[in-house]
């Protein structure tokens, strides 16, 4: 499940416009879109434009889930996830490649890569929201950053998408305290 949640966060961060680390971020479009997705998905995969567009649609919904969970709107997040589960036909099953152990998949053998990943991500979000992991889906708290993350810290205290956003926020807070103690 961790791989699916991490992949969901990575897809959201790559495929949605917003702010990243204090700068505007524009998601790839056109011919660069499939390559951007290949760069995020674990393993080696070929992604067609049609699959890239499908995954982009899924990702926009997944962003809504992260934002809703961050804002304490669990009912809204659950509704989006339930709709994703239904639209992808997610269903758990065990599959095994020759020489490999059994693995849980949430899609059928005939589903496309895009439907398979969308179903897996929807299922992982279902399990996270239905357990104590839902509170670990977050949106960066740094100023001018809206990238998402899955909090894997021991105490569930993560607030930032990256160390650079955390450092930037702490440095700004330090400068503000210093300015307040030493006005010009």
Q: Does domain 2-137 have CATH number 1.10.460.10?
A: no
Helix locations, the chain, DSSP H: 2-15, 32-38, 49-70, 74-88, 113-129, 163-181
Domain extents in the chain? 2-137
Cα separation, 57 vs 54, whole angstroms? 5
d(CA 60, CA 80): 11
- Helices 49-70 + 74-88 axis angle, to 10: 160
DSSP states of 90-140: ---EEE--TTS--EEESS-TTS-HHHHHHHHHHHHHHHHHTTTTGGGEEE-
Model confidence at 120: pLDDT above 60: yes
82, 83, 93 from 11: Cα distances, Å: 19, 19, 24
Residue 162 pLDDT > 90: no
Q: Please state, in angstroms and rounded to a whole number, the distance separating the CA atoms of residues 170 and 27.
A: 27
Residues 155, 136 contacting (CB under 8 angstroms): no
**pLDDT tens figures, 55-67:** 999 999 999 999 9
Per-residue model confidence (pLDDT) at position 125: 95
Share of the chain above pLDDT 90, in %: 58
């Amino acid at each position: 499940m961790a791989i699916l949640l991490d992949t969901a966060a990575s897809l959201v961060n790559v495929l949605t416009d917003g702010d990243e680390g204090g700068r505007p971020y524009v998601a790839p479009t056109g011919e660069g879109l499939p390559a951007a997705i290949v760069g995020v998905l674990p393993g080696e995969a070929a992604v067609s434009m049609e699959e890239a567009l499908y995954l982009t649609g899924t990702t926009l919904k997944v962003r809504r889930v992260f934002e809703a969970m961050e804002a304490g709107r669990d009912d809204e997040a659950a509704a989006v996830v339930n709709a994703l589960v239904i639209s992808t036909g997610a269903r758990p099953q065990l599959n095994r490649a020759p020489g490999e152990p059994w693995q849980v998949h949430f899609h059928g053998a005939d589903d496309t890569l895009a439907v398979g990943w969308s179903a897996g991500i929807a299922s992982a979000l279902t399990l996270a929201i239905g357990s104590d992991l839902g509170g670990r889906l977050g949106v960066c708290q740094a100023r001018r950053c809206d990238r998402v993350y899955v909090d894997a810290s021991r105490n569930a205290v993560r607030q930032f998408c990256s160390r650079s956003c955390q450092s930037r926020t702490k440095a700004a807070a330090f400068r503000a305290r210093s300015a307040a103690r030493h006005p010009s």
